[in-house]
Structure 1
Amino acid sequence: MPGAAPSFIITAEACSDIAAREALLDRAMGPKRRKKSSEKLRRGRRPSEGLAFVARDADGHVIGTVRLWDVRVGEGGTRALLLGPLAVDPAMKNGGVGSALMRHAVSEARRLGHGAILLVGDAPYYARFGFSAEKTGALAMPGPYERHRFLALELVDGALDGAQGILRSCGRRQKPARLALAA
């Protein structure tokens, strides 16, 4: 049908998607993406179990990605998820891919029993998924970030009550490259 939105599906990310995902992130976010505060929390870690997704077009090409990461607020504090990056192939922008990835990621995080999701992003975009800065006032990211872009969504009411401090990585460590190739 002419003018119809392209079709896509969302699947769990596979090891075979790594190169396509990284190329997509480079196209969508540029070379400075690795210098963000959120990246410091992801470096050397694997996404939270069952919470890494890609969107594929009808030909199976990766056109979108979202991953969630295990973090802890402060030393030994509240556990939460850090969402990001969410990225869509620039050629597919405004096709509903990013929204579908967000809805899927939030739904799966809730299904898996997580209490809250944090992110640094555009408040007007993420507000439609329930994110706001209301619960992030006593929280901080490591390194520079724009405070008004630090947002949270409680999947369980009260999950962030009393949470305070700087976010820290607490997820599964990534295998060193040599060991990963041998495994």
Structure 2
Amino acid sequence: MLLRLVLLLLAFPLGEMFVLHPSPEDQSHREQEIKKIILKSLHLPKEPSNSLSQLEHLRESLKNSIHSPPGNSSLPEDSGNSSCCRRSSQVLMKDLGWDGWVVLPESVAFVQCVSCGSGTSVQCCKPTAHHIVPFVYMDASGLVLSTVRLPRDCGCDLAEDTLDPAAMSPP
């Protein structure tokens, strides 16, 4: 194991490592998927529109009075399952263009379940555990407190052959 680590360090000298980033098209598609899932979970047909300055004041007031633990501190990195992987990212409401109506949270840990390799069917990969994320937002009727159920961990049951792509997203 130590030999592998040494070889890895020698193969990639410091300062010359690279990071692969998704293309802008992939990122935009992913953001649209995330928007659909969260809007559906909040039972909203579309994004409400509000005064941004009013929301900033409300957001700061709520942040000062509510102390919540970090969103992904208890998420395990590996589900112990080699055929189904978690694709996890921290999603900022600002990046989704939702800072004009979502008061809190300012970001969420978003997990998508994907196949780890080409030999495994993506349909068998699905959420095995969820966490509840509280959302505070403004709509035409005022301040709304709701919750969204988001995937936390993934697994693959090869005996279960579902063709339903909705199995990859929360109910």
TM-score, length of structure 1 as denominator length:
0.25
Specify which structure has the bigger relative contact order, considering alpha-carbon pairs within 8 angstroms and separated by 6 or more residues.
1
Larger Rg computed on CA atoms? 2
Structure with greater strand share of residues? 2
Q: TM-score, normalised by structure 2?
A: 0.27
